Amino acid sequence: MIDLHAHSTCSDGTDSPRALINQALIQNLSVIAVTDHDTISGWVEAQSALRLNLQLVLGAEISCLTETGVSVHMLGLLFDGENQEMRKMLDETRDSRIPRMIKMIQLLNDAGISVTMDDVIAAKPDGATLGRPHLADALVNLGLIKSRDEAFQGLLNNDSPFYVSHLAPTPEVAIMQIRAAGGVAVIAHAFASLRGKVLSREDFAPMVSAGLNGIEVDHRDHSGIERGELRAIARELDLVITGSSDYHGTGKLNVLGENTTDQGQWEKLESMANERRVVRL
């Protein structure tokens, strides 16, 4: 079983990279990708936890913003972690999450909801990419809400008045950067309409021109209809079709391996990287 999208405590997952690899072994996966938001800081620990019979794909999920303000997540897999331009793009996106969090906290405070940056930092593992899930955890710790899920259904939803976006590359810039660093680019949960505004059919052609390799079709946040539409777009544009769990430990319901990628599609995707970078013992 091949799962190409999972998070650790280096972003908003609750399993350390080592625990994530152990879970992948327990679930009998053959391939697991570590794709934390805007960071590669989990790569070293994930590699050191690797065991026989499991192959590791090193990656990142890059937060992007289209020119019309649609939030898009781009999976970069199998790229060279030493690529300086790539590192710079990840650093800039990560850094901009701090002023963005300060703004969201200010908006909440203005509405009479008392939460501070210290509360959020206390809820976040050291070194993790700062995000709304940590703000949600702070609100849970303060007893203001019950769960991350409750936060994302209301207060912290993309459509909420408290939502603020952070600086991020466009999907095309992210794709070009991933490809320039030798990796492959797969657009994550592109039609997950329950998250807010999503892309439309016409948005795919420019991403293909930028070098997009694949579309994540089988994902918990896609309805059957949305999967069908994405599958048709992938066939039309000759893109690889993936399925993945987007596992976040106990931070979300998603179970490792609940959606998987077909072996043939995976081989096709892997062959598009400029080097064989899958880690195996």
**Which residues contribute to the site for Zn ion (CB under 5 A)?**
61, 246
C-beta of 251 vs 257, nearer to ligand AMP: 251
| Residue 52 CB, nearest approach to ligand AMP (Å) | 31
Rounded Cα distance between 88 and 74, Å, is: 16
Q: Which of 148, 179, 219, 277 binds ligand AMP (CB under 6 A)?
A: 148
**Binds 85, which of Fe ion, ligand AMP, Zn ion, none (CB < 5 to 8 A, cut-off by type)?**
none
Q: Which of 12, 36, 137, 216 binds Fe ion (CB under 5 A)?
A: 12
| Residue 188 CB, nearest approach to Fe ion (Å) | 5
149 binds ligand AMP (CB under 6 A): yes
Q: Do residues 270 and 56 lie in contact, with contact meaning Cβ atoms separated by under 8 Å?
A: no
**Binds 277, which of Fe ion, Zn ion, ligand AMP, none (CB < 5 to 8 A, cut-off by type)?**
none
Q: Which of 152, 162, 204, 266 binds ligand AMP (CB under 6 A)?
A: 152
**Binds 59, which of ligand AMP, Zn ion, Fe ion, none (CB < 5 to 8 A, cut-off by type)?**
none
Rounded to 5 degrees, what are φ and ψ at 116? -120, 165
Task: Kindly list the distances between the CA atom of residue 236 and the CA atoms of 10, 127, 185, 200, 231, in Å, as whole numbers in the listed order.
Answer: 36, 41, 17, 15, 9
**Binds 275, which of Zn ion, ligand AMP, Fe ion, none (CB < 5 to 8 A, cut-off by type)?**
none
| Residue 125 CB, nearest approach to Zn ion (Å) | 16
Under rule CB under 6 A, which residues in 155-214 are in contact with ligand AMP?
Answer: none
| Residue 115 CB, nearest approach to ligand AMP (Å) | 15
Q: Residue 91: which residues within 8 A CB-CB, separation 6 or more? A: none
Structure tokens at 94: 């990560």
Question: Which residue in 186, 176, 171 sits closest to 268, CA to CA?
Answer: 186
| Residue 131 CB, nearest approach to ligand AMP (Å) | 3
C-beta of 179 vs 252, nearer to ligand AMP: 252
| Residue 50 CB, nearest approach to ligand AMP (Å) | 24
Sheet holding 55-65, edge to edge: 2-3, 31-37, 55-65, 71-77, 184-188, 214-218, 240-243
Q: Which of 9, 16, 41, 63 binds ligand AMP (CB under 6 A)?
A: 63
Binding mask 227-266 for ligand AMP (x = CB under 6 A): ---------------------x--xx--------------
Binding site for ligand AMP (CB under 6 A): 12, 37, 63, 131-133, 148-149, 152, 248, 251-252
Q: Contact residues for Fe ion (CB under 5 A)?
A: 12, 73, 188
